Amino acid sequence: MSDDEVDHELLDLLRKSLGLGPPDPSAPPETKILENAEYIYHNSIDVALDMRYSKLAAAEIFKQMQERDYGTKTWSEHPLHPKSKDENTVNFIFTMDLLNFSFWSEKSEAERFAVSYKDQRWTGYWSLVAVLQRALDEDIPITTPSFWANEEECSEEVLKKVFRSETDEEIPLFQERLKCLREAGQIIEEEFDSSITVLIEDAKNSAAGLVNLLAERFTCFRDEGRYDGKKVRFLKRAQIFVADLWAAFDGEGYGSFNDIDKITMFADYRVPQMLHSLGCMSFCPPLEGKIRRLEPIESGHSWELQIRGCSIWCIELLRREILKLDPDAKVNAILIDFFLYDLAKEREKNGDEVEEMIPHHRTRSIWY
């Protein structure tokens, strides 16, 4: 080889080491969500994390999770979640997470959207699960993708019946939920043989692969934004679909993933609220004032992106601290998120504790 000739093999190695050129098709899938969250955290000026309180919170969370024997089986113990481990449960979970967004209300507890089912009144996330169970009891195939795509059978009038409330307030973002159902039904029919299980199988047991597949094929799962000039990904509902599958099937069958720990927490309302109450997260005075005054924050606003990104990174720090306490601990970001969400709902029942907690931030969007 002369001095003027190019060593293409060496050049390819250099390009790969610098992250240049096309991605390696044989490399395992990555969602980049955690990487983007770390970027937001390091460049955040309005949201901060406290490492000292994070260490204390990690120890307390791990202690309580051990005392409660908290794990994947806890998911199925919730009153309305499906119990069978079959394709019907897969369809239920996909429908649930397709529509799993924006339940908060500006109305009082008595006036907000609520669903009566099984002699109980359900609000928030549980109102959606109750809606789906009630529709199935009424022989409305609400968890069937081909039904969503059929505008005659699945008309707006039928869906209004499905989502009917016992109050005068209808479910928030009804039209957006209808659009999500229509889009998902059409794509699953055309690209996945009308089967959600085919969609799952296309990911080849990769949690990150399934998250990426959802974000790539369905615009209604493409939960992204721009922070400080950089595209950042959150993919809350795509991730929680994978997590719910994993939990519902106890890591087996349709819930078997070889990289489940690549899933981060699900950046929404309740977990940031809990992280603040635990002392792990703090807000600049203007942002905290806006949250306490219950004023809405626009979807995609820098404040909202910082809250979501720092929440993801904080849960990752808690996970790492727990593993320092016990390297053999069976814990990941999914279980920590589930636990803190359940804890937030428990505290809602205690008026004194709720008064001490900051309200959750108000952002109306389909992303969470």
Q: Give the model confidence (pLDDT) of 191-248 as tens digits.
A: 999 999 999 999 999 999 999 999 999 999 999 999 999 999 999 999 999 999 999 9
3 pLDDT tier (thresholds 50, 70, 90): low
User: 224-227 and 230-233 as β-strands: parallel, antiparallel, unpaired?
Assistant: antiparallel
Dist CA 85 CA 72 (whole Å) = 13
Dist CA 218 CA 212 (whole Å) = 10
Dist CA 368 CA 366 (whole Å) = 6
State the Cα torsion 323-67-59-44 to the nearest 10°.
Answer: 80
What per-residue confidence (pLDDT) applies to 27? 80
What per-residue confidence (pLDDT) applies to 11? 66
Dist CA 213 CA 295 (whole Å) = 35
Task: Assign residue 209 a region (left: φ > 0; alpha: ψ between -120 and 50; beta: otherwise).
Answer: alpha
Average pLDDT of the residues in 242-267: 97
16 pLDDT tier (thresholds 50, 70, 90): low
pLDDT at 21 over 90: no
What percent of the chain is predicted at pLDDT more than 90?
88
What per-residue confidence (pLDDT) applies to 137? 98
139 annotated active-site: no
Average pLDDT, the chain: 94
Average pLDDT of the residues in 83-99: 97
pTM: 0.90
2 pLDDT tier (thresholds 50, 70, 90): low
Dist CA 309 CA 35 (whole Å) = 10
Dist CA 201 CA 254 (whole Å) = 8
What per-residue confidence (pLDDT) applies to 354? 54
Q: Supply φ then ψ for residue 131, to 5 degrees.
A: -55, -45
pLDDT at 23 over 90: no
Q: 268, 326, 328, 337: which one is catalytic?
A: 268
Say which range, 238-247, 257-266, 346-355, has the weakest mean pLDDT: 346-355
Average pLDDT of the residues in 188-193: 97
Average pLDDT of the residues in 130-152: 98
pLDDT at 13 over 80: no
Per-residue tokens: 348? 């809602």
